[in-house]
Structure 1
Amino acid sequence: MAEQTNSSQEYTLELSILMPCLNEAETLGICIEKAQKSLRELDIVGEVIIADNGSTDGSQDIATRMGARVVPVVVKGYGSALMGGIMAARGVYIIMGDADDSYDFSNLGPFVEKLRGGWDLVMGNRFQGGIKPGAMPPLHKYLGNPALTRIGQLFFSSPAGDFNCGLRGFRRESILKLDLQTTGMEFAGEMVVKASIYKLRVAEVPTVLSPDGRSRPPHLRTWRDGWRNLRFMLVYSPRWLFLYPGAALMIVGLIIVVWLLPGPQKIGSISFDVHTLLYGAIAIIIGFQAVTFAFFTKLFAISEKLLPEDPKLNKIFRYITLETGLMVGTALLLIGIVGSFLSLTIWSETAFGTLDPFKTLRLVIPSLTCLTVGLQMVLSSFFLSVLGLKRSSNN
């Protein structure tokens, strides 16, 4: 593992400039030189930390020779390297950036100014500062980064306008409290997501992105790392992953069922009957399951300290209790049983012979829907009460 220090250590420096490193011998020297120049010009007592993730090209020797502090990090991954460096840093503030000479470490004054002003996280914004020709692939510039940024803003009300900018500064103590867990490229996104969720003060400064100074391909893998970032944001937002899609399915399904329950309907020359009714019923069932998953995920994440307590959720659970769920679920089960009994009675009138499906399914489908949702509600209520045991014992 990395060289580690206690998170509550006494800070001995104002600023640590942190660079993750994996075979960056081509550009590491110029990045360290620029960072040291920045410390001198800003008259800051600080350090340059190289979080080395197992380089085999002599990067460690370059860093040591230039006066930087090398922190070995055994666990592979961009996030692992950064976390190892953060834990080992002695600065009140940390500014992190890639060691490929794409970010200008000699111009850190705006970051320091914001950090001294009380901001917890100061993000660089490459779209405001400028992206030099060849510095960012068109797919990243016009689709990947803007899309992930918009999703982050929508899901988490993040103020960041460039979600994946690698140059950023933060108060070490504030970021350690977020208990960041990811080990790969999604670490940068996790930091912004959790900073937004936990209501840290987040600011931005324009940042220029230059072409990568290395001759080899970057460590970033477009589709793999893009998916990992998107996956993380979805998992951390049960509302958008489960609740909103589930609620939409239930509403659409309920509208279809109510519309077709009296009989077939026509829109223009198109006729809708029991087949569409069945799709509506399935939408209700799947939608209800998705909504319950949203509550399961949220409660589990809160109990595991992955997400903070949600006052809105606490207010909901004052009214939605185990007993409430059991009563509503039981009522739906009874409605389904009554409907099924009526269907059986209708069938018996034909001596259990052939029935007209267009008539009988109009009763059978809603009955089965009530039975399914009712049973789901009863089981979900018990499961939610189990998830809530730890929370209720702590209150």
Structure 2
Amino acid sequence: MKTEQLNSDLTAANTESDRDGGDDRGLELSVVMPCLNEAETLQICIEKSLDTMQAHGIDGEVVIADNGSTDGSQEIARRSGARVVPVESKGYGSALRGGIAAAKGKFVIMGDADDSYDFTHIPRILEKLRDGNDLVMGNRFKGGIEPGAMPPLHRYLGNPVLSGIGRLFFSAPCGDFHCGLRGFRQDLVERLDLRTTGMEFASEMVVKSTLHKVRIAEVPTTLSPDGRSRAPHLRSFRDGWRHLRFMMLYSPRWLFLYPGLLVFLIGVVGMLWLLPGSRFVGNIVLDINTLLYAAGAVLIGFQAVLFSVLTKVFAVTSGLIPKPVSWEKWFQIAKLETGLILGGVLMVGGVIGSVFAVTQWGQESFGELDPSQMMRLVIPSVLAMALGCQIALFSFFFSVLGLARD
């Protein structure tokens, strides 16, 4: 329902664009500002943008993506020379997507309407776009953050940590992931198929641009205390979590593959160490109970690795991320038949081990056995059957997802 509403908003935005001057996209630049009750600062932001474009001979416009303001922001925007595009779907990302869809410029520069960003920096961003860059990010840490402009929690923890995670996960060449002043080619948004509706829209744009290997540049910009008397829309922990959640979901390697491999290897090493017999660590005895936990680590880690592969395939086939270069090789190697054979071998091995354990039990007239010895046979046998079953089921699902790869 939310997606249908947003698509309706985008259609309405384009219709509004037609009414306000046709579908002429001959302008060089559109400055897009999301707006929700920004009456106190909207006019100064629009005037700075228009004056800067006029002073530098830039053929452009200002588009206000209004997200349901009730304080008269729409009339202020029109009176100040901007074009207003109503966007009903709530959220920072929704407003920007509606405004960008209605933009008539070849290039788009987006910025908040709270007077915290310096719109006189428009020319330095536009120059980088003219040089052939697809996305140009502002960097507030290079340009300067005025006292009181950014809470210490954001300045010294939130932004550096999230930007660092973005660079680690995706090798993104950006030092300030969440700078709200940035420019890009208008057609880039269509290519990236941006979908988020909240504050994580900022991260989605950078992550997808990096994954699509577009040209990204940075320019220094400044951040000033915003000019509003009310509290900002941003909620530190809620929106910080949404940024982090998005980056983790878009990087199954770091969320599932690497942790899964680590847990799997720890389990394998633990099992190989404990299978011959009990071990002593100081005065502590590690025996079959620890062996069982090691087998559990193998199972959990292996499942996480398989899940990372399935997540990657689903993301690619759904168009969320671009196809990797080795895409077709995956399906040549991980064939259904190969998975079924490997899974079958493991299950047969587990069954053989189980039969041998029952035989040993029979030799003792099905009475009591030495748990320390028997469990060293039973645990690996059960684990082999479980892993074999997982591989077989994975192979079926992997093949099903692969049907949509073309």
The TM tier, using the shorter chain, reads over 0.9
User: What residue is the counterpart of 2:20 in the other structure?
Assistant: none
> Equivalent residue for 1:190?
204
Residue in structure 2 matched with residue 379 of structure 1 by the alignment: 393
Aligned to 2:368: 354
Distance 1:10 1:201 in 2: 26
Deviations 1:250-290 (A, max 9, x none): 11111111111111122333322111111111111111111
- Asked whether the 8 Å contact 2:256–2:304 carries over to 1, the reply is yes
Name 1:367's counterpart in structure 2: 381
Could you say which residue in structure 2 is the equivalent of 1:4? 14
Alignment-derived partner of residue 126 in structure 1 = 140
Structure-to-structure mapping, 1:282-361, within 5 angstroms: 282-361=296-375
Cross-structure match for 2:87: 73
Aligned pairs for 1:197-212 within 5 A: 197-212=211-226
Taking the aligned partners of 2:123 and 2:293, their CA distance within structure 1 comes to: 60
Using the TM superposition, give the Cα deviation of residue 230 of structure 1 relative to its aligned residue in structure 2, in angstroms.
0.7
CA distance in 2, matches of 1:11, 1:3: 14
Q: Distance in 1 between matches of 2:370 and 2:77?
A: 82
Counterparts of 1:314 and 1:348, CA distance in 2: 51
Question: 2:39 touches 2:76 (CA, 8 Å); kept in 1?
Answer: yes
Alignment partners' CA distance in 2, 1:123 and 1:269 = 58
- Residues 4-24 of structure 1, C-alpha deviations (whole Å, 9 max, x = no match): 169xx6521000011000000
Q: Deviations over 1:311-357 (max 9, x none)?
A: 23432332221111111101110111011111111222222222221
Aligned CA RMSD, in angstroms, stands at 1.4
CA distance in 1, matches of 2:365, 2:301: 37
**d(CA) in 2 for partners of 1:300, 1:48:** 38
Pair 1:273-2:287 in alignment: yes
Q: Distance in 2 between matches of 1:176 and 1:351?
A: 72
| CA distance in 1 between partners of 2:330 and 2:318 (Å) | 20
- Select 1:164's aligned residue among 161, 167, 178: 178
Mapped to 2, the partners of 1:265 and 1:323 lie a distance apart of 40
Distance (Å, rounded) in 2 between the aligned partners of 1:259 and 1:337:
23
What stretches of structure 1 of length at least 5 have no aligned partner? none
The residue type equivalent to 1:103 in the other structure is Y
Say which is worse superposed, 9-18 or 69-78, in terms of deviation. Answer: 9-18
* Helix, strand or coil at the partner of 1:177: helix
CA distance in 2, matches of 1:312, 1:283: 29
Distance 2:77 2:257 in 1: 49
SS of the residue 2:183 aligns to: strand
Unaligned runs of 5+ in 2: 1-8, 18-22
Tell me the amino acid that sits aligned with residue 142 of structure 2.
Q
2:276 matched residue in structure 1? 262
| 1:228 correspondence with 2:242 | yes
Comparing 260-269 with 113-122, which one deviates more in the overlay?
260-269
1:142-153 correspondence to structure 2 within 5 Å = 142-153=156-167
CA-CA distance at 1:33 after TM superposition: 1.0
Q: TM-score, normalised by structure 2?
A: 0.94
Tell me how far 1:248 sits from its aligned partner.
1.3
CA distance in 1, matches of 2:186, 2:270: 53
- Take 2:258 and 2:121, find their aligned partners in 1: how far apart are those partners? 43
Instruction: Please give the secondary structure, in 1, of the residue aligned with 2:299.
Output: helix
In 1, are the aligned partners of 2:85 and 2:98 still within 8 Å (CA)? yes
**Percent pairwise identity:** 61
| Paired residue type of 1:220 | L
- Tell me how far 1:301 sits from its aligned partner: 1.2
Alignment coverage as a number of residue pairs: 391
